[in-house]
Amino acid sequence: MDAFAVAVGLSLAGKGLGRRQEFRLSFHFGLFQFGMPILGWAAGKSILRLIEAYDHWVAAGLLVVVGGKMIIEAVRGEKIETRTIDPTRGFSLVLLSLATSIDSLAAGMSLAALGAPLFYPAATIGVVCFLITMTGARIGPVLGRIVGKWAEIAGGVVLIAIAVKILAGHL
């Protein structure tokens, strides 16, 4: 659901995301959601102890930075078309993918502790995340038309709200 909300938030402003951007975002979110349980399963419990103390801070921080940037650009009146950073490319995409999939790392560790099978749950998580992200990216522009000029601010607020939710769930 975090991936869905991020996709909605990113596509709220302007004309939404292009087809390639939608696919790139959905593919990477799905790939990370597929891969993180596998990494978690492979890493075992020792790594969980090392990262569980701050994983939620990292995820929340990344979302606050992206959401805050969206809000600042909207308040300053910068046009969406002049935005130099495409959140569906490069380091921004990797950061968002990590931020929305860190919990899957712990899920993989749980699967290992239970001795449960790994591939089918990881593949299911990845495919569902791909589909839900694509849906969120397509819903965003519709909501953007309803919200109007406040769409980019709303998108930033959604990302920051997800960060708060992550922190509230871990504190």
Cα dihedral 104/107/108/110 (nearest 10): 160
Say how many residues make up the chain.
171
Is 54 in a helix, a strand, or coil?
Answer: coil
pLDDT grade, residue 68 (50/70/90)? confident
State how far the Cα of 164 lies from the Cα of 16, in Å rounded to an integer. 24
pTM beyond 0.85: the answer is no
Full DSSP string of 9-56: HHHSSTT---HHHHHHHHHHHHHHHHHHHHHHHHHHHHHHHHHTTTHH
Which one is predicted more confidently, 59 or 49? Answer: 59
Task: Encode pLDDT of 98-122 as tens digits.
Answer: 888 887 887 887 777 777 888 998 9
